[in-house]
Amino acid sequence: MGRTLVKTLSISILVIILMTLPLLIACSDDDEKTENAPEELPDIHVGMSALVTGPYGAYAPITWGYLDYMKDLNERGGIDGAQIEVHWKDCQYDVAQSIAAYADYSKSYDLVAFTGMGTGANLALAERCAEDGIVLAAIGGEPELIWPAQEWVFASSPNHAIGALGAMQYAMEQWDEGRVARVGIAYPNNPFGQSIIGPIEEYASELGYEVVEKQEFELTALDAVSQSLAFRDDEVDIVYVQGTAKSVAVLCKDMDRQGFIPKMVIGPLHVIHPAFPELAAGTGEGVIGWNPFYLWPQDMDNESVQYWRDKALEYSSGDIVSEEDPYMSMLYMWGLSVGVLLEAGLREAAAEVGAANITAEALRNALENVTNFKTGNSGFQPGIGFSPSNHEAYSATSLMQVQDGVWVRINNMFESPWKFAE
């Protein structure tokens, strides 16, 4: 019995320690924060429900990009001397956790802006931000957030639909067969997949193509034979695949095996991954992906790309870039672009009301006055600007293509159509 008692006691102590540890850590953290903040100007607080771990952990570079940008901004002296404090927590793409993080930060600090991850979380956050009067600085990608423009929501980069339309515009410029081009769409059944269908269909009559086939195609599918056959039977000329590098590769391989080579295969920005040509085993040749940023290593001469590559190495935000693997993730750039948006808004607001008095309201008003904001460090994308009717930072994309097994930029940034916004 004595042995059992010891075991009982030791395990209960273990349980108690496990349960109280987070409390202790939380407490000790708060103490540090209050000690280490003896600045003249009050900090500017921004919040983020980040996505670092969990089943969508592959999107972690977005968070790293965002954090690196803020670190760099503070090193550059912040906003007229006011430092920016980022409050963030890993919420694993979970809506409830994101809302909890938002509730925490918005109550505890004078937040001026918040950034969420994932469509569901962002849609839920948009309502709360509007109620509390906090700017939701969204990562580009979700058309439903900014079409139509919501008062408090601002997107940092073009959404999927804009990219898709830009790519379609390019495709029609190349189209020289003198008949209506037949377009097939393969999409997964989630917001990412469905957001592009409507815009592409609507755009068709204007440019003179026709969407003849829509096929559901999951991101984790092992084969795409039925999709390939459907496209083949409908004699599709252009295939738009809303997928990741992996799923687009699967579709390319299976279309090739069925002896069906469409004139053009277009994917979204996720396709532009150095592993894609290898994943597609030679069948990815000629695949086009749209891209709203300049990227390492294709745009080595772009100063801003150089700058951020060096910064990423310096902050060693892990495996985003390394000396051996000279690839900078598209997602990392996405994270950076949110930083650009915030810097643009905060600088404008500081010019209007002074860095010490920046409130969420001031930031929101300032953002709508931003036009063509471009710093030397943000030259990996075109200048950004907003208006009361347009809350998207810019709507330009460029296109990249697989040529001889590597991604090559085939045109410079051009304005994508975004008139469907209204």
Residue with Cβ nearer another protein (252 or 396): 252
Contacting another protein (CB under 8 A), which of 123, 180, 207, 353?
123
Give least dist CB 174 to another protein, A.
26
Closest by alpha carbon to 337, among 368, 383, 369, 302?
Answer: 383
| Residue 19 lies near another protein (rule: CB under 8 A) | yes
Residue with Cβ nearer another protein (29 or 422): 29
Positive or negative, the Cα torsion across 343, 345, 346, 347?
positive
Instruction: Count the site residues for another protein by CB under 8 A.
Output: 91
- Whether residue 141 contacts residue 153, with contact meaning beta carbons closer than 8 Å, is answered with no
| Residue 34 lies near another protein (rule: CB under 8 A) | no
Q: Assign residue 208 a region: left if phi > 0, alpha if psi is -120 to 50, beta otherwise?
A: left
Give least dist CB 301 to another protein, A.
25
Residues numbered 334 to 373 that lie near another protein (CB under 8 A) are: none
Contacting another protein (CB under 8 A), which of 45, 160, 253, 364?
253
| Residue 104 lies near another protein (rule: CB under 8 A) | yes
| Residue 97 lies near another protein (rule: CB under 8 A) | yes
C-alpha 349/C-alpha 47 separation (Å) is 18
Residue with Cβ nearer another protein (168 or 249): 249
| Residue 89 lies near another protein (rule: CB under 8 A) | yes
Give least dist CB 375 to another protein, A.
24
Contacting another protein (CB under 8 A), which of 156, 304, 317, 397?
317
C-alpha of 247 from chain center: 19
CB atoms closer than 10 angstroms to residue 65: 27
| Residue 265 lies near another protein (rule: CB under 8 A) | no
Residue with Cβ nearer another protein (88 or 290): 88
Give least dist CB 127 to another protein, A.
6
For residue 138, the number of C-alpha atoms closer than 13 Å in the C-beta half-sphere is 30
Show contacts of 386-391: CB within 8 Å, 24+ apart.
Answer: 386/154, 388/149, 389/149, 389/421, 389/422, 390/149, 390/418, 390/421, 391/146, 391/149, 391/150, 391/153, 391/154, 391/155
| Residue 319 lies near another protein (rule: CB under 8 A) | yes
C-alpha 158/C-alpha 418 separation (Å) is 9
Backbone φ and ψ for 37, nearest 5 degrees, come out as: -125, 55
Length, in residues, of the chain:
422
Residues numbered 191 to 210 that lie near another protein (CB under 8 A) are: 191, 193-194
User: Segment contacting another protein (CB under 8 A): 91-99, 151-159, 303-311, 376-384?
Assistant: 91-99
